[in-house]
Amino acid sequence: MNDTKVLEKLGKIGLIPVAVLESAKDAVPLAQALSTGGIDTMEVTFRTDCAADAISLIKKQFANFLVGAGTILTVEQAEKAAEAGADYIVSPGFNAELVKWCTKHQIPVIPGCTTASEVQAAVAIGLSMLKFFPAATCGGVKSCANLAAPFQTVKFLPTGGINFDNFSDYVNRDYIHAIGGGWLCDKADIQAENWEKITQVAKESVKKLLGFEVAHVGINTNSAEEAKKISVELSDIFGFPVFRGALSDFVGTGFEINCSMGLGTNGHIAIDTNSVAQAEYHLARLGVAFKEESRVVAGGKTAVLYLQKEFGGFAIHLRQRKQ
């Protein structure tokens, strides 16, 4: 898998567990636990001696699981990680020599940058995804946003001090590519071989990442006149205001009355999500199929996408939640 595809997949997964392994024997069951929970990647830190062996074992067992090598400080460590099969390299700070080596060998590298000077140096080398570390002590999401403002081509991977309770601060932001943290594979749970708990944390984190919420119900009609009649009736009953459009009327925010027979036998249900791209990836893992012809792209990313299947005569589409 080339550099672009690796980084693209990381963005779709959206969450990157940061694992500290004391024994290589834990690598495969941890990868299985995370994958079962919906997360097909992890960053294995080079803080312990078994890191390279752990990466090698995972790559031999799971071909499609992306394994990153974290806390890489030197070119020598990067070489060792690459030999073990690491799909990407993560370093806590910006090391030009390390970055150039990875670039030369076509290994995606995500160096840590917390100042404008570091970001500018990384951009000059050609990087577009950077680690924001340690996120919590460097000002959190506000500082990350300020740092991203002058660098429109850069996206960040915040890690450090991020947990289940606060990671949602970073979702649905254009400058965030993915979010990393140790809460997804707690060291104590790994040592206790509590794989079921790790799977459950992964599932709950993915659920929170996507943030699914019913946005509105769409009702099909045969004409603009019929749509207007239904809109007025609903407004009279519930007191919701009517907003008229060229193709449909909205009654409050919960009803969309189509002026024609749209997708779905009876209509559609809109589901808001923090990221349609990430939702598409995670739902596809569950076997959900989509209507490619329904895809609406705005600002370079998917804004609307319908599922193939109808439910009770209603089509369902994902909708990008506004920031």
Cβ–Cβ < 8 Å for 275, 227 = no
Secondary structure class of 190 (helix, strand, coil): helix
Model pLDDT, residue 129: 96
Angstrom CA distances, 195 to 37, 42, 231, 322, stand at 10, 15, 52, 35
User: Can you tell me the mean pLDDT for 62-72?
Assistant: 97
Q: What is the set of active-site residues?
A: 43, 131
Residue 6 has pLDDT above 90, yes or no: yes
What's the pLDDT tens digit per position in 19-61?
999 999 999 999 999 999 999 999 999 999 999 999 999 999 9
What's the pLDDT tens digit per position in 123-150?
999 999 999 999 999 999 999 999 999 9
What's the pLDDT tens digit per position in 82-134?
999 999 999 999 999 999 999 999 999 999 999 999 999 999 999 999 999 99
Burial of 180-205, coded b for 16+ CB within 10 Å and e otherwise, reads bbbbbbbeebbeeeebeebbebbeeb
> d(Cα 16, Cα 68) in Å, to the nearest integer?
9
Sorted by where each starts, the structural domains of the chain and their CATH numbers stand as: 3-210 (3.20.20.70), 213-320 (3.10.180.10)
323 confidence band (pLDDT: 50, 70, 90)? confident
> d(Cα 316, Cα 265) in Å, to the nearest integer?
11
